[in-house]
Structure 1
């Protein structure tokens, strides 16, 4: 590879070269670095292009003398599949010595993998050690990546999958014969059995209610990534130990949190920590085995950049 050559990782290259164990490791390091102040990033800027059409920019730097760059992405509803969204775009990576762009990676594939990797990191830190039943709510792309990432951090004896379309649930389950997957139609009953729940939907109104959960459950809120659409009700937020990937991002865009705050049910102090603070040992994640813990995933630039930097460094090696 020539020194000034720009390395390009298309979607196939990202899938091939960004393994889930590696991505879990680099995302874990990135989230600790974010909470310790080593990394730099701005809140994402989002430009509405009409209903179901958003253009977003997410700039950041992995450190003062580390790689930096941006994720530029479009989030468009799929007109052929109502309820589905595509995240198409690029992660552009620069080296820190001369400021040269050195790599471009497919943002959709990185987003899929690093989001599930971040959920796995949070689940490892917050779910009970004896968690044995996983509930996946949703059947889209993130359901696939979470089914690959979550079993790496807990030994699940049952994996329950729920979606609005029973046919899609059955099709998803059939693709993972190595997992103990069961398709479910009663979400309330499934939520009451689960030790770990991942909401991965495009729901505009709550699909998961706090009263359905048993004490000790860990919930990963992933599907809603901006103000407006909420996947869970305010009771779940209020009664949880609420931990975000980024406090600043959550105060700006965590829909379920913002709705509960607008109702005067909570205030900003309800965000007890960033996940990076938990990983650093600064704030306890779970205080008792009966806590209901929530990890709010909004995604931030340093996760994408850490994944892209790993790809780039691996290609050099």
Structure 2
């Protein structure tokens, strides 16, 4: 069994590779080539919790589980809010193969899935990219999304002005694209062609009144029932896609709250993004639609990424 550290993950796998892999992984899941159970959420004290996320790659002959802890207040003490490992096994004989730090795996695969959705659902001429949240996921999402659209300008808002300013400075230097901080979330929403929400907000920060026609939204941060980023009006105005219907119906307050209010019905969830990849369901149909991708994060994404890293490290004769 090998151990792969956080720093090694990005040495082995690029964002471009992750995007290609996640497109394949989403298609495999919707074709029955892989299987997964809904993650188990386990509550700790003081609003902290941890998740167990198992998956089985039937055709690739791997299975595994991600164990990840989520401590929302860790940033105040200089620690990441998400920490954990992915355990990878050989499905042919049950042998343990690898323990891989999941922080970078989670960051890579999450942004890569959003890039797949953005490529399928955003306008082809989208030029302005907006972020609500300026943390690790915003940085990874910028790296991913500029690979699927020719972005000319980036807007960012965060509850911390310092975080927004730091993001703008770092991302402009790294990617050579103009990055502008905004005074509030509505500014970002009103002026962006593609909006990505990557916060730990417990009440909506994206106001549907500020949305313009043709916008695409990646709703990523609120991946548990305690969190919500998108208001009911924005959801009702959107053509709604999910990574997995069961995950969305089980845990997404972004969807379940407007459903409970009677503003939408279950049929408002138009399709899984894997079905759009496979051509079974339509993506964007015109330049006026508002599209929304709700990414809950799937165990198959983690295990597929871990298997890719394991195989590439073996291929490079590093094992």
Q: TM-score range by the shorter chain?
A: over 0.9
2:73 is aligned to 78
Could you tell me how far 1:83 is from its partner in structure 2? 12
* 2:140 is the counterpart of 1:142: no
1:148-179 per-position Cα deviation (integer Å, ceiling 9, x unaligned): 11101100011111112222211111112222
Could you tell me how far 1:42 is from its partner in structure 2? 0.2
1:286 is aligned to 284
Name the SS of the counterpart of 1:283 in structure 2.
coil
5+ residue gaps, structure 2, are: none
Could you tell me how far 1:275 is from its partner in structure 2? 0.4
Distance 1:192 1:21 in 2: 29
Name the SS of the counterpart of 1:211 in structure 2.
helix
For the aligned residue pairs, the C-alpha RMSD in angstroms reads: 1.5
* 2:49 is the counterpart of 1:54: yes
Distance 2:59 2:13 in 1: 25
Selected match of 2:195 from 194, 197, 205: 197
1:129-153 per-position Cα deviation (integer Å, ceiling 9, x unaligned): 0000000110111111112111011
Check conservation: 2:75, 2:81, Cα contact below 8 A: no
1:265 is aligned to 263
* 2:214 is the counterpart of 1:210: no
1:3 is aligned to none
* 2:37 is the counterpart of 1:39: no
2:125 is aligned to 130
Distance 2:130 2:187 in 1: 11
2:99 is aligned to 104
Name the SS of the counterpart of 1:23 in structure 2.
helix
5+ residue gaps, structure 1, are: 1-5
* 2:309 is the counterpart of 1:311: yes
* 2:58 is the counterpart of 1:63: yes
CA gap of 1:80–1:43, structure 2 versus 1, over 3 A, is closer
2:244 is aligned to 246
2:22 is aligned to 27
Name the SS of the counterpart of 2:255 in structure 1.
helix
2:113 is aligned to 118
Could you tell me how far 1:51 is from its partner in structure 2? 2.6
Distance 1:113 1:52 in 2: 26
Could you tell me how far 1:89 is from its partner in structure 2? 0.9
1:90 is aligned to 85
Could you tell me how far 1:272 is from its partner in structure 2? 0.7
Please report the TM-score for the alignment, with normalisation by the length of structure 2. Answer: 0.94
CA gap of 1:82–1:236, structure 2 versus 1, over 3 A, is farther
Check conservation: 1:135, 1:159, Cα contact below 8 A: yes
Distance 1:145 1:90 in 2: 19
Name the SS of the counterpart of 2:146 in structure 1.
helix
2:231 is aligned to 233
Check conservation: 2:74, 2:80, Cα contact below 8 A: no
2:158 is aligned to 163
